[in-house]
Amino acid sequence: MAKLGVLVYPRKLKERATAAPYFDNFAYRGLRAVIGEVDKRNHAVRYIAPHQIDECDFVLVSLTSAWDILSLIHYVPIRRRAKIIAGGQGLVNPRPFMQYLDLAVFGRAEGQINELIDGGRGANVLDVGKDPAAEGNYEYRQAQYLLGDEADTGCIRKCYFCGYGWTHRSLNRGGNYQASDDALYSSSEQFLSELRLTENVHYSAGLDGWSEASRRSVGKPFSNTSLVEKLKTLTEDAAARGWARLSLKLYMIHAYPWEKPLADYTGEMARALADLDGKLSSGRLVIFFKATPFCPEPMTPMARCLPCFDDAWRTMLKNQWLVYQGSHVEARIHMTVPSAAELAHMVFFRRAGREESSVAEMMSRPKYLSLTAGLKLAALSVRGVLGRLTDAAPWSGLRVPGLNPERVASQMGWTY
**Binding positions for ligand SF4, rule: CB under 6 A:** 155, 157-159, 162, 164-165, 177, 191, 206
Nearer to ligand SF4, 89 or 247 (CB): 89
> Which residues, listed in sequence order, are joined to residue 325 by a DSSP beta bridge?
330
CB of 212 to ligand SF4, least distance (A): 17
Nearer to ligand SF4, 73 or 252 (CB): 252
CB of 177 to ligand SF4, least distance (A): 5
Q: Which residue is nearest to ligand SF4 (CB)?
A: 165
Nearer to ligand SF4, 105 or 162 (CB): 162
Nearer to ligand SF4, 167 or 364 (CB): 167
Both ends of the chain: CA-CA distance in Å? 48
Nearer to ligand SF4, 60 or 66 (CB): 66
Which among 82, 80, 159, 141 has a CA at the least distance from the CA of 117?
Answer: 82
H helix intervals, 244-382: 267-279, 313-319, 340-351, 357-364, 366-369, 373-382
Which among 171, 190, 170, 191 has a CA at the least distance from the CA of 182?
Answer: 190
Nearer to ligand SF4, 254 or 383 (CB): 254
> Contact at 8 Å (CB) between 89 and 63?
yes
- With a CB cutoff of 8 Å and minimum separation 6, the contacts of 217 are 160, 209, 256, 258
CA pair distance 195, 332, nearest whole angstrom: 20
Side chain identity, residue 57? D
Counting DSSP H helices and E strands in the chain, the numbers are 15, 13
CA pair distance 300, 363, nearest whole angstrom: 26
CB of 30 to ligand SF4, least distance (A): 16
CB of 251 to ligand SF4, least distance (A): 8
CA pair distance 214, 212, nearest whole angstrom: 6
Inter-axis angle of helices 267-279 and 224-240, to 10 degrees? 40
CA pair distance 393, 391, nearest whole angstrom: 6
CA pair distance 58, 207, nearest whole angstrom: 41
Nearer to ligand SF4, 5 or 154 (CB): 154
Q: Which helix (H) or strand (E) holds 387?
A: helix 385-392
> Contact at 8 Å (CB) between 234 and 195?
yes
Nearer to ligand SF4, 162 or 306 (CB): 162
CB of 381 to ligand SF4, least distance (A): 31
Q: Residue 204 to residues 196, 197, 278: CA-CA distances in angstroms?
A: 11, 11, 24
CB of 171 to ligand SF4, least distance (A): 14
Nearer to ligand SF4, 156 or 412 (CB): 156
> Contact at 8 Å (CB) between 43 and 34?
no
Nearer to ligand SF4, 113 or 205 (CB): 205
